[in-house]
Every structure is written in C-alpha cells, then in structure tokens.
Amino acid sequence: MDPRQVLPHREPFLLVDQVLEVVPAKSARGFWKLTGDEWFFKGHFPGRPTLPGVLMIEAIAQLGGVAVLSAERYKGKLALFGGVDKARFRRQVLPGDVLDLEVEMTRLSASAGKGSGRASVEGVLACEADLLFVIVDN
C-alpha cells in the first residue's frame, strides 16, 4: 500500500516508501529505502552520511499514523505527535540501507493513543521507541 493513501505527508517529509501490512488500529509493517540522495545526508554528516535518529523516530510515527488512520473510525482525522518515551538508537543507518519498520498500538481512544515501534536494517535493530499521539480533526 502506498502510505499517501492514508497519510497527509508528502516529499520531502514522507519517510515511509511502502506499507507491507496493516491491521487497522492495531499494527503495521513497512519500509523506507534510503537512496543517499535525501536532503539531510548532505549535512549529517559531510563525508560520513548518517540517518538522523529523530528521522527514524518520525518514520516509525508515520507508520503508526497509517495503522491508526486506516481504521474506519479515524478516517478524515490527523494523528499528531504527543511524545516519545524510551527511545534508543542501536546502530547507524546509511545511504543504501532499507529501514524496515514495524509498529504496534498499545492503547487507543477516540482522541489519543500510545504505541511502540522498531526500525531495523537486515534484521539488526537500529531504533526502538514508545510513541504518544493525539487524534484531531483534519
């Protein structure tokens, strides 16, 4: 599934290339293929391009948005970041890597929710975090 079918994000800030699986309001799996041409690699870091950790968190959050906004009760809504807990970065992500993403919703109400997500490269954990979000009218 193309994440643009659900998310309002667009280039250059759409950080999920493809959604592989969605269980609405429960979970999602997808990926982001880093080509090396992304805007942030030029300055982070010159001579040693590395994906910024905050963008890994954003990619997980965007996939979480797909999981939530795919549910019928949230159609036409917008999921906004409310917070990040327990974020850990385990390895560098480099140009050419495919960042495999997965997210699970752990609590969901009419106006807010909580989930946890992971990002990995070739089965090696790169990032994990718990995410808080609010759901608003779009």
pLDDT by residue (tens digit) across 36-49? 999 999 999 999 99
Q: Whole-number mean pLDDT of the chain? A: 97
What integer is the mean pLDDT of 25-46?
96
Which tokens hold the place of 137? 């009218």
Tell me how many domains the chain contains: 1
pLDDT at 138: 85
Residue 10 — very low, low, confident or very high, per pLDDT cuts 50/70/90? very high
In whole angstroms, what is the distance from residue 81 CA to residue 58 CA? 9
Assess whether the previous peptide bond of 12 is cis (omega < 30° from 0).
yes
Answering whether pTM is above 0.85, one says yes
CA-closest candidate to residue 123, choices 102, 96, 95, 104: 102
CA-closest candidate to residue 63, choices 107, 99, 15, 95: 15
Range of the domain at 92: 3-137
Tell me if 133 sits within 8 A of 121, measured CB to CB.
Answer: no
Q: Name the residues annotated as catalytic.
A: 44
pLDDT at 2: 97
pLDDT by residue (tens digit) across 61-120? 999 999 999 999 999 999 999 999 999 999 999 999 999 999 999 999 999 999 999 999
CATH number of 94's domain: 3.10.129.10
